[in-house]
Amino acid sequence: MFFTERLCLRGFRPEDMENIVKLETDPRVFPSYNTEFWRPAKPDLGELLKKRQYEGAFWSAVVVTREGNEFVGTIGMHLQHDSPNRCPSMFIGVIPEQSGKGYGEEMLRFMLKHAFVELDMHKVWLQVFDGNSPAIKLYRKW
């Protein structure tokens, strides 16, 4: 478990699945995550997301507020097994209800420090889609 000023980054728990599915399927968030067309969630989507995004990640965490334990989103890194340069791709997801509170920046600051200082990564990269203005604004600061 890791802490920032206002957030707790912790491992996945079964009770997180409802919020993760909500985040990943929200039509306001989905275009920021995917190149596919949005469609309603399938019954087994939770398990699929758990395997793909969280069990398949090199490092991942569920993010909740320190005060109140409210779900904020998810964060993590994927490392390609054939990558010789220790250069993971990073993902950050914040639910719309928590957007605009500075949590994304707090998550990004933690992730970059953790990746370079604790995990000894050489580079970190991420992909952002054109229409994701809040994320682009945040990433340009760094």
In this predicted model, what pLDDT tens digit does every residue of 87-110 receive, in sequence order? 888 888 899 999 999 999 999 999
Average of per-residue pLDDT values in the chain: 82
Give the architecture (CATH level 2) of 2-141: 3-Layer(aba) Sandwich (3.40)
What is the pLDDT at residue 30?
65
Q: 3-class SS at 66?
A: coil
pLDDT digits (tens, 9 = 90+) for 52-62: 555 556 788 99
- Here the tokens at position 88 are 């993971």
d(CA 81, CA 72): 29
Q: Please report the pLDDT score of residue 24 as a whole number.
A: 77
Domain residue spans in the chain?
A: 2-141
Helix (H) or strand (E) holding 59: strand 59-65
- pLDDT score recorded for residue 83: 62
